[in-house]
Amino acid sequence: MFVGLWLNDYESRLFSDPAGADLHMTTGSGRYSASGRLSYFFGLQGPSLTADTACSSSLAAVHLACQSLWTGESTLALAGAANTILQPHISVAYSQSGMLSPDGRCKFGDARADGYVRSEGAGLVVLKPLAAALRDQDRIRAVITGTCLNNDGMTGGFMTTPGQKGQEQMLRAAYRRAGVSPGQVDYVEAHGTGTRAGDPTEIGALGAVLGEGRSDGSRCAVGSVKTNIGHTEAAAGLAGLIKVVLSLEHKTIPSSLHLERPNPAIPFADLPIFIPTRRLSWPRREGPAVAGVSAFGIAGTNAHVVVQEAPPPPSVEEARAPRAYALPLSAAGEGALRAMASRYRERLDPTGSHRSLAHLCYTASVRRAHHDDRVVAVGESPAQLIEQLDAYLAGQARPGLVSATRDPRHQGKPVFVFPGQGSQWLGMGRELRAREPACRESLEEMDRAIREEAGWSLLDDLAQDADRSRLDEIDVVQPTLFAVEVALAALWRSWGVEPATVVGHSMGEV
């Protein structure tokens, strides 16, 4: 799902696009919405839509993206937003109506709060089911455990006046869906515009809800990124979400700026919340840290997202690190290739983790264009790859270092060759199944078919030790070889390698 901003001559329109291009929307000037354009450009084929709930638009889009993931409609979603002020008309109108802060400062919760501050910004988050992210060893920044989207209805008295009752209902629903007691929440990133009407209503709703289940007398910190960067309007909710994710990662609650004298209309002393005026360490408690993010639209559409700190990486990660890493580099010309090798050599950290090295090699392999002049360095650690690149730059030949120039006039095409019985070995497929999703999914599919047809488990047999292995039995080894060869082909194809020809002998002919 992607969310962003579509601009025309006189206004900006927010859009959200859940991983595809099934829906195109046009503006008044007849141009295609950016959601459809981006879905077309990237070839995304899931739901694609445009959402406009004013200043809660980007967090509403995150809510829609999560719904799409939780229902299985999408497997990965992009949610983003942008706000650009290209012409003065809206700012002039807001200024004349007294909506903007005269001194250009957002004073959330302060007695001097006198309006909001317009600003520009853009951001994007990648969302994926937690189980899939853990399986694929993605870097997980935080976990969204619950969301809610509602409207104040008539609880505010006027359409553009915030309603405390509606906000309370939204907060309770979000925490209920997340399976979290409001008393567990350590920090809330408020909508926090610094206005006379908005601040007392929002802080009142937070105070009414966050006290539930807080028997230890603790108070929840509440802040607003708008005191730092202003109000990015349609992108404001996403700005708050990114701030919360970074706060969870650094276990730090930033201060909220420009609070000198608390608003006397807000009974802070009676509420289980406070606005921090200095940087704080995240409170220590049993279980993962929990935070919330709010965004409100001028027409009463409210959004709240419950965010939890990321789970620790699997302890087996380093133990399962591959025996070697291949770092492929290519450029258009030998001089450019040497310059690139030098930059990578500077980028590599001799003390870096296997995870960061794996990400670097993966990106160099599949996220960069491949040219005719190439070098591949192979090593078991960042330090070894540095040695290999030093050798290449010095013109030295050594094992694990291959450089070549491809002649574009004689481009070979890949051929998949599948061997027959006798190529099996004890332990085959185990590491690939653990590390490579494409290989794992293919083996699991073969396992289901073999269970149904033959009544035994391919995966169980591949995991057996020497004493229990049945790879010497003809009715086991042949289906096993077939399954492993199909899985290897799936792995190569997931890397973008498509065969021009497929050949095989004996069992490989299948």
pLDDT digits (tens, 9 = 90+) for 76-108: 998 988 999 999 999 999 999 899 999 999 999
CB of 2 within 8 A of CB of 44?
yes
Q: How confident is the model at residue 10 (pLDDT cuts 50, 70, 90)?
A: very low
Q: Catalogue the active-site residues.
A: 55, 191, 231, 506
In angstroms, the CA 488 to CA 220 distance is 52
Tell me which amino acid residue 44 is. Answer: L
Q: What is the pLDDT of residue 349?
A: 86
Q: What is the pLDDT of residue 315?
A: 52
Q: Which helix (H) or strand (E) holds 418?
A: strand 415-418
In angstroms, the CA 477 to CA 196 distance is 76
Who has greater pLDDT, 284 or 355? 284
Dihedral angle of Cα 120, 310, 59, 273, to the nearest 10 degrees: -90
Q: What is the pLDDT of residue 80?
A: 87
pLDDT, average across residues 167-191: 96
pLDDT, average across residues 312-338: 76
Who has greater pLDDT, 17 or 453? 453
CB of 141 within 8 A of CB of 241?
no
CB of 145 within 8 A of CB of 178?
yes
Q: How confident is the model at residue 157 (pLDDT cuts 50, 70, 90)?
A: low
Q: Is the pLDDT score of 159 beyond 60?
A: yes
Q: How confident is the model at residue 410 (pLDDT cuts 50, 70, 90)?
A: low
Q: What is the pLDDT of residue 16?
A: 37
Structure tokens at 347: 């980028």
Q: What is the pLDDT of residue 429?
A: 87
pLDDT digits (tens, 9 = 90+) for 261-302: 999 999 999 999 999 999 999 998 888 999 999 999 988 999
Q: How confident is the model at residue 44 (pLDDT cuts 50, 70, 90)?
A: confident
CB of 284 within 8 A of CB of 40?
no
pLDDT, average across residues 26-42: 61
Q: Is the pLDDT score of 26 beyond 70?
A: no
Q: Is the pLDDT score of 184 beyond 70?
A: yes
Q: Is the pLDDT score of 449 beyond 90?
A: yes
In angstroms, the CA 94 to CA 100 distance is 6
Of 116, 112, 115, nearest to 261 by C-alpha is 112
Q: What is the pLDDT of residue 38?
A: 80
Per-residue CA distances from 336 to 189, 267, 304 (Å) = 46, 65, 49
Structure tokens at 125: 């988050």
130 Cβ partners below 8 Å, 6+ apart?
140, 143, 311
The proportion of the chain whose per-residue pLDDT surpasses 70, expressed as a percent, equals 90
* Mean pLDDT score of the chain: 86
Q: What is the pLDDT of residue 506?
A: 86
Structure tokens at 164: 């405390």
Of 42, 40, 49, nearest to 17 by C-alpha is 49
pLDDT, average across residues 345-366: 86
Q: What is the pLDDT of residue 465?
A: 83
Q: What are the b/e assignments for 294-328, b being 16+ CB within 10 Å?
A: bbbbeebbbbbbbbbbbeeeeeeeeeebeeebebb
In angstroms, the CA 210 to CA 204 distance is 10
Q: Is the pLDDT score of 318 beyond 80?
A: no
Who has greater pLDDT, 191 or 135? 191
In angstroms, the CA 259 to CA 194 distance is 10
Q: What is the pLDDT of residue 474?
A: 86
102 Cβ partners below 8 Å, 6+ apart?
114, 115
DSSP string, 155-177: TTSSTTS--HHHHHHHHHHHHHH
CB of 299 within 8 A of CB of 160?
yes
Who has greater pLDDT, 184 or 215? 184
pLDDT, average across residues 118-145: 91
